[in-house]
Amino acid sequence: MAHKCFISFKKEDMYYKDKLIEKFDKSDVIDKTLDKTINSNDGDYIMSVIRSEYLKDSTVTIFLIGEHSSENEGRDYLGDKNYFIQKELQATLYNGKDNSRSGLIGVVLPNMYEKVYKGNYQCTQCQGNHNYVNINDDTAIREFSRNYYVAPHNGCAWTPDERYAILVKWDDFYNNPEKYIEEAFNKRSDPIANKIRIYNLR
């Protein structure tokens, strides 16, 4: 693979993380995970520590979307249950001095297919059919969902050009990871990268 990847996941989804580590060349993936709170009031400092000590020279982050990796689940529990994956995704999108932003892929794990992929609906604006893809605070970390459905947005459905983050089902990703990694990598220099939003840097 041409681009080094970092995997952001909850421990409940370690099985899938390990499958990817097995599949990729060792030099293509960083097998490390944020495991301590960075105590600082300086959001820029926190981001630079995470980038330099964890994400390192990776240019694409693979976010495993499982049953326990949503923004809302994190909030229900003292407000910081998902601190580590939040920070990993923020650092992914953060364009720092010495380390530029990475591409971002959300991989929907099999036990989330039904919750995320809700089928078609007929659009009242264009009369066409769109897929209803349920990516929001109930299913994903905000840094992912808001950069998948980039706002402000005109019209009805989002086109691929209007998204920074890439979304893919586990099976499709596992069969052909290079395709999605390349796509995510290229987004870093795409005009949509200027619309990236990062929430709650502290």
Applying CB under 5 A, the residues found at the interface with Zn ion are: 123, 125-126, 128, 156
Largest CA distance in the chain: 51
- By beta-carbon proximity to Zn ion, the closer residue of 81 and 130 is 130
For the CB of residue 154, give the shortest distance to Zn ion in the complex, in Å.
12
Cis bond upstream, residue 152 (ω within 30) = yes
- ∠ Cα 104 22 93 (to 5°): 15
- By beta-carbon proximity to Zn ion, the closer residue of 95 and 131 is 131
- By beta-carbon proximity to Zn ion, the closer residue of 110 and 128 is 128
- By beta-carbon proximity to Zn ion, the closer residue of 113 and 132 is 132
Q: Which two tokens stand for residue 151?
A: 């706002």
Q: Which two tokens stand for residue 62?
A: 């693979």
For the CB of residue 125, give the shortest distance to Zn ion in the complex, in Å.
5
Strands 129-133 and 166-169: unpaired
- By beta-carbon proximity to Zn ion, the closer residue of 131 and 189 is 131
Q: How far, in whole angstroms, is CA 51 from its chain's centroid?
A: 15
For the CB of residue 120, give the shortest distance to Zn ion in the complex, in Å.
11
For the CB of residue 123, give the shortest distance to Zn ion in the complex, in Å.
3
For the CB of residue 117, give the shortest distance to Zn ion in the complex, in Å.
18
Place of tokens 């989804």: 13
* Nearest Cα residue to 184 out of 87, 46, 61, 43: 61
Q: How far is CA 36 from CA 39, 52, 97, 128, in A?
A: 9, 14, 23, 47
